[in-house]
Amino acid sequence: MTRRPRLALLALGVAAAALARPLAVRRAAVAAVPEGMRSPACWLPLSFTPLAVRVIRALPQPPTAVRDGVTVRTRTVSAGTGRDPVPVHVYEPAGRTRPSGAVVWTHGGGYVIGDPVGYHDICSRLADELGVLVVSVDYRLAPEHPFPAGLEDAYTALLWLHASAAELGVDPDAVAVAGDSAGGGLAAALAQVAHDRGEAPVCFQALVYPMLDDRTVLRQDHAGRGALVWTPASNRFGWTSYLGTPPSPEHAPEYAAPARRADLAGLPPAWIGVGDLDLFFEEDVDYAERLEAAGVPCELVVVPGMYHGADRFRDDEPRIVAFTGSMVDALGRGLRRRTAPAGA
């Protein structure tokens, strides 16, 4: 055999070994997921990059189903002089008793992708089952619009909901915030901003595997978490896009990374849910424990074997059904505490 064929065979062997190792790692990661929770997404080597984000945004976002009996309207909310208005989707259940509670929902997507139409299902479910108005915010995305753009859009929607409470038939003392992943991070930050500014009270926060702490990017050891769907590489891209600079140990702008807040006292009661295979597991558990330590009631739900975003892929799996149901029930209790008559 001549030198060139030998080199070609050697190159093929090296390439095969390089491909085999990631496949073996992914196979091991998928094996840790209960069979009923697995989805084709588990096998995809997902990694968010500028090109991937452009491709995803260019594709039409398929809307999820709206619950029967729930009407969805799109409105634009004025953000003040010199600022673009903020689009919102408003979900109204048939026969809603006025005034009712309300929920401001912020969608996930790592701060770089996502669209409210992909959350018609959960937003209309909240409206239907809780008998409330739901406002889903179409906030600006990074990297084109880094922090604080998305948060200020969410806060604009919250202010509008309070200012329009009489027109919308909403009890301003029964307004909650909720969201998943990056949207969960925005909801947590929104609760902090609302508390500090004192203009638009928030009575409860429901945080679904929230993206809370940019310092997770700086950790080298993730204890095997983050192998599926949302990876450490994607997390680095998402946070760098949102902050406008790579995360640093010393500092992040106030409210950008809610987990960096030192004093959590006085924040609204919370529900936090996460899977134990999720990259955000440690930061979410830590935030829940710190809320409790600060005197803030917080229900923490951890699902063994659940990876990031599993509820968007396998919403029929019994453990995931229970997970989402727990969040819905917690929101209902949080809103009812504010609307129940004295002595109830």
DSSP-derived secondary structure for 2-14: -HHHHHHHHHHHH
Other CB atoms closer than 10 Å to residue 321's CB: what's the count?
Answer: 13
Other CB atoms closer than 10 Å to residue 299's CB: what's the count?
Answer: 18
User: What is the enclosing helix (H) or strand (E) of 177?
Assistant: strand 170-180
Q: Do residues 210 and 301 make contact, with C-beta atoms less than 8 angstroms apart?
A: no
Radius of gyration of the chain (CA): 21
Q: Do residues 86 and 74 make contact, with C-beta atoms less than 8 angstroms apart?
A: no
C-alpha closest to that of 157 among 94, 95, 76: 76
* C-alpha dihedral sign at 163, 166, 172, 174: negative
What is d(CA 240, CA 167) in angstroms, rounded to the nearest whole number?
40
Reply yes or no: is the peptide bond before residue 99 cis, omega within 30 of 0.
yes
C-alpha closest to that of 256 among 149, 332, 336: 149
Helix 182-197 vs helix 149-163: crossing angle, to nearest 10: 60
What is d(CA 132, CA 146) in angstroms, rounded to the nearest whole number?
31
**In terms of DSSP bridges, do strands 70-77 and 86-93 run parallel, antiparallel, or are they unpaired?**
antiparallel
Q: What's the token pair of residue 101?
A: 């509670």
Enumerate the active-site residues.
181, 278, 308
